[in-house]
Amino acid sequence: MNKITFMGAGSTVFVRNVLGDCMCSDALKDWEYALYDIDATRLEESFEIISAMNETKGGHARITKHLGVENRKEALRGARFVVNAIQVGLYDPCTIIDFEVPKKYGLRQTIGDTLGIGGIMRALRTIPVMDDFARDMREVCPDALFLNYTNPMAMLSGYMQRYTGIETVGLCHSVQVCSEGLLKKLGMEDKLEGRRELIAGINHMGWLLELKDKDGNDLYPEVRRRALEKNESAMKDGAEKHDDMVRMDYIRRFGYYCTESSEHNSEYNMFYIKSKYPELIERYNIPLDEYPRRCVNQIAGWAKERDELKTGKHLDHQRTKEYASYIMESIVTNTPYEIGGNVLNKGGLIENLPQDACVEVPCLVNGMGVHPCHVGRLPVQCAAMNMTNINVQLLTIEAAVTHKKEHIYQAAMLDPHTGSELDMDTIVRMVDDLIETHGSWLPRYK
Q: How many Å separate Cα 288 from the centre of its chain?
A: 19
Tell me, what DSSP letter sits at residue 440? G
Q: What are the beta bridge partners of residue 169?
A: 147
Q: How far is CA 378 from the centre of its chain?
A: 21
**Phi, psi angles (nearest 5°) of residue 403:** 60, 25
Q: How many Å apart are CA 92 and CA 85, to the nearest integer?
A: 17
Peptide bond preceding 152 in cis form (omega within 30 of 0): yes
Spatial distance between the Cα atoms of 131 and 357, rounded to a whole number of angstroms:
18
The per-residue DSSP string of 282-323 comes to HHTT--TTHHHHHHHHHHHHHHHHHHHHHTTTT-S----S-S
Per DSSP bridges, beta strands 3-7 and 32-37 are: parallel
**Residue whose C-alpha is closest to residue 16's, from 52, 64, 69, 60:** 52
* Closest of 187, 341, 204, 184 to residue 262, by C-alpha: 204
Catalytic residue chosen out of the listed positions 66, 173, 204, 317: 173
Spatial contact of 267 and 111, defined as CB atoms under 8 Å apart: yes
Nearest to 374 by CA among 343, 395, 407: 343
Return the amino acid letter for 17: N
Cα distances (Å, whole numbers) of residue 208 to 32, 358, 384, 427: 38, 18, 15, 34
234, 382 Cβ separation under 8 angstroms? no
Residue 64, strand partner residues: 34
Half-sphere exposure of 434 (CA within 13 A, CB side): 32
Q: Catalytic: 317?
A: no
Region class of 434: left (phi > 0), else alpha (psi between -120 and 50), else beta:
alpha
Give strand pairing partners of 364. 338, 371
Contact 415, 115 (CB under 8 A): yes
d(C-alpha 371, C-alpha 365), whole Å:
6
Q: Tell me 189's DSSP state.
A: G
Query: Which residues are part of the catalytic machinery?
Result: 173
